[in-house]
Structure 1
Amino acid sequence: MASGLFALLDDVSALVKASAASLDDVPAQVAKTTGKVSGIVIDDTAVTPKYVVGLDPSRELSIIFQIAKKSLINKLFILTPAALVLGYFAPWAITPILMLGGAYLCYEGYEKVHSMFSKHPAVDAESEQLEQITPEELEQQRVAGAVRTDIILSAEIMAIAYSQVTGQSIVNQILVMLAVAVFITVAVYGFVGLIVKADDIGVHLAQDKFHPAMQKLGRGIVKFMPRFLSILSYVGTVAMLWVGAEIIAHGIPVTSHLLDDLARSLAHIPVVAWLAKALASAVAGLGIGFVVEKLVLLVKMIMPGKQDSPKVG
């Protein structure tokens, strides 16, 4: 009886040691996964600030917090379980779903580019629509638009996170994916919050109570931030096209090999290789977005009667 009990305790001890050793790998896996998704993280960071441009400055952090909260909820309670379930029961379904999300990003990016070059009457019509909604409704629309874009980028992040832990225990898979979800969300939206409030920081530093050098820095930040946010909005649009097309390209062997070959041909100049791959993806994304928009218009013609509500952001 005693020997059986000791044997059981030995087995439990061995299991605990094995689990502890496995858990020691979690931080390393999180770091590795974060490196793999760094491009998407940059895109997410570039896309988000444009959703608070033109809104009440006092509401900026609140809006960022709303987006961050919904992003984290989506990652923790929708995307992580979905990746684990699909990875176990239907791993073949992950790539097509991500490709659909990539097509949506291309569509949204194309619409942004199209609106930049549209004629003034279209802009006036949009302005008239905006005048018909309250600031609260505009804020809700901006948050909803940001969350729609974020969930696609987040899905790609969590899919990559899952691909890094497929051969590990279910406990490790869950821990790594949850840790990645929390870390990425805090990092992205913390930095976004810093970006959108940088002008307020500049105003504070420009006060007379600070050293002249600090005041000069504050004034410089205030002058630079509007231009920086404008540039960032363009970067965010390009990022939608780039990431969307790259998601689709990686789901098709031929196009995936073409992108890899392009990067390898310029591997001796890493920056040029990265830029060439990103530019090729962005141009392809513009074409994909154009096709998707025509398909959307065709569907609207076939199914008349449903009018879209004003779309902002």
Structure 2
Amino acid sequence: MSAGLLGLLDDVAAIARLAAASVDDVGMAAGRATAKAAGVVVDDTAVTPQYVRGVAAEREIPIVKKIARGSIRNKLVFILPGALILSQWAPWLLPVILILGGSYLAFEGTEKVWGRIRGHEDHAVPATVEGEEAEKTLVAGAVRTDLILSAEIMVIALNEVADEPFWSRLAILLVVAVAITVVVYGVVGLIVKMDDIGLSLAQRSSASSQRIGKALVAGMPKVLAVVSLVGTIAMLWVGGHILLTSSDELGWHAPYGFVHHVEEAIAHAVPGIGGVLAWLFNTVCSAIVGLAVGAVVVTVMHLLPFGRKDHGDAHETPVAEDERVALDVARAVEQDIAEHERGHDAAHSPDGDR
């Protein structure tokens, strides 16, 4: 009896170890897949804050939550089933879809670079949102934009785990979908509330709180500029890398073969930092490919009759525009702080005491 019980416990322990190993494998694969989708994730994070411009402060976080719920619905209800069906019965389509997604990323990144060069700032900024219907319209537009970005994220992640068993693929993509949504919209929530947090701290009596608050307000333009710049670079890099590797999978080996050969040569030639230099070489080559392909697509799109009139309104915000809006917010907050301090000084002056 005791031997049977010990045998049963041993089997249970073995199953538990196997389950733990499987969870670790899923976690590692999900992390690898998420890293490959980094460019789209950064772009998603850079794009979303524009949707809460002109929104009352108390409605910012509720709107971000609504967009996040729409994003997770996009990933789990629409994209995930389609991606799994595709990987199960038509895996040969994955490189083709990835090339389309990579071209789109290269196109977006090149558009932003071109916008910076021209100093183009005439994209529409959402007007003040008032009323339930206006809020629904705003959220619906953000969720539609998220659908494109989420599809790119999930297909890139799927390509990294295409050789895994079906149930492992399902678990990994579920983890990727939830983790990316939480990270993206958590960061977006922090960005859109930075000025409010800064103002609240700046109006406290503590000198250290005031310094931190003013620093947060002053730092907001820099944060938006960095997020936008990193998003642009990441789109070109990831888009170009997808184009190189996917074209190699489809049989055109020369471009990726050349980059990979030089990358390996650099890694072996330079002791210590060879791996880092090889990665940088691959990244620069990928960004150049992304910029070149993006330039072709941008040129073609602008030559077509329908052009690109409305694309930037829904998806793109140039760095200069982000900086201008953030600086306006910073100036307004600084004025509020100054008025608060003048009122505080007046209340404690000799005249005020009388």
Pair 1:138–1:74, CA change in 2 (3 A): closer
Shift of 1:236: 0.9
Shift of 1:104: 0.9
1:247 is aligned to 2:245:
no
Provide the aligned length of Structure 1 versus Structure 2.
Answer: 285
Pair 1:308–1:252, CA change in 2 (3 A): closer
8 Å Cα contact 1:34/1:184 also seen in 2: no
For residues 195 and 188 of structure 2, the distance between their equivalents in structure 1, rounded to whole angstroms, comes to 13
Shift of 1:147: 3.8
1:42-71: CA deviation from partner (whole Å, max 9, x where unpaired):
651354234324812535434533443333
TM-score (norm 2): 0.67
Shift of 1:175: 2.4
In structure 2, what is the equivalent of residue 94 of structure 1?
A: 94
For residues 286 and 148 of structure 1, the distance between their equivalents in structure 2, rounded to whole angstroms, comes to 20
In structure 2, what is the equivalent of residue 292 of structure 1?
A: 297
In structure 2, what is the equivalent of residue 183 of structure 1?
A: 179
1:118 is aligned to 2:118:
yes
1:56 is aligned, of 54, 57, 62, to 54
In structure 2, what is the equivalent of residue 69 of structure 1?
A: 69
For residues 272 and 198 of structure 1, the distance between their equivalents in structure 2, rounded to whole angstroms, comes to 36
In structure 1, what is the equivalent of residue 212 of structure 2?
A: 217
1:262-306: CA deviation from partner (whole Å, max 9, x where unpaired):
4434444244443333222222111111111233345x34xxxx5
Shift of 1:242: 1.3
- Percent identical among aligned pairs is 33
Pair 1:103–1:258, CA change in 2 (3 A): same
Pair 1:24–1:262, CA change in 2 (3 A): same
For residues 239 and 276 of structure 2, the distance between their equivalents in structure 1, rounded to whole angstroms, comes to 21
Whichever residue aligns with residue 81 of structure 2, its letter is: P
1:28 is aligned to 2:24:
yes
Whichever residue aligns with residue 108 of structure 1, its letter is: E
For structure 2, list consecutive stretches of 5 or more residues without a partner in the other structure.
1-10, 316-354
For residues 310 and 189 of structure 2, the distance between their equivalents in structure 1, rounded to whole angstroms, comes to 27
For residues 310 and 167 of structure 1, the distance between their equivalents in structure 2, rounded to whole angstroms, comes to 40
In structure 2, what is the equivalent of residue 4 of structure 1?
A: none
8 Å Cα contact 2:103/2:293 also seen in 1: yes
For residues 45 and 22 of structure 1, the distance between their equivalents in structure 2, rounded to whole angstroms, comes to 35
In structure 1, what is the equivalent of residue 256 of structure 2?
A: 256
**Structure showing greater relative contact order (alpha-carbon pairs closer than 8 Å, 6 or more residues apart):** 1
For residues 203 and 56 of structure 1, the distance between their equivalents in structure 2, rounded to whole angstroms, comes to 17
Pair 1:307–1:176, CA change in 2 (3 A): closer
1:170-228: CA deviation from partner (whole Å, max 9, x where unpaired):
33332232223212321232233223323332333333244x33432232222112112
For residues 216 and 200 of structure 1, the distance between their equivalents in structure 2, rounded to whole angstroms, comes to 14
Shift of 1:33: 1.9
Whichever residue aligns with residue 72 of structure 2, its letter is: L
For residues 262 and 248 of structure 1, the distance between their equivalents in structure 2, rounded to whole angstroms, comes to 18
8 Å Cα contact 2:106/2:294 also seen in 1: yes
8 Å Cα contact 1:52/1:142 also seen in 2: no
Select the structure of larger CA radius of gyration.
2
For residues 278 and 140 of structure 1, the distance between their equivalents in structure 2, rounded to whole angstroms, comes to 35
For residues 118 and 140 of structure 1, the distance between their equivalents in structure 2, rounded to whole angstroms, comes to 31
For residues 171 and 228 of structure 2, the distance between their equivalents in structure 1, rounded to whole angstroms, comes to 34
In structure 2, what is the equivalent of residue 10 of structure 1?
A: none
1:65-104: CA deviation from partner (whole Å, max 9, x where unpaired):
3443333223222332223222221111111111111111
SS where residue 155 of structure 1 aligns? helix
For structure 1, list consecutive stretches of 5 or more residues without a partner in the other structure.
1-14
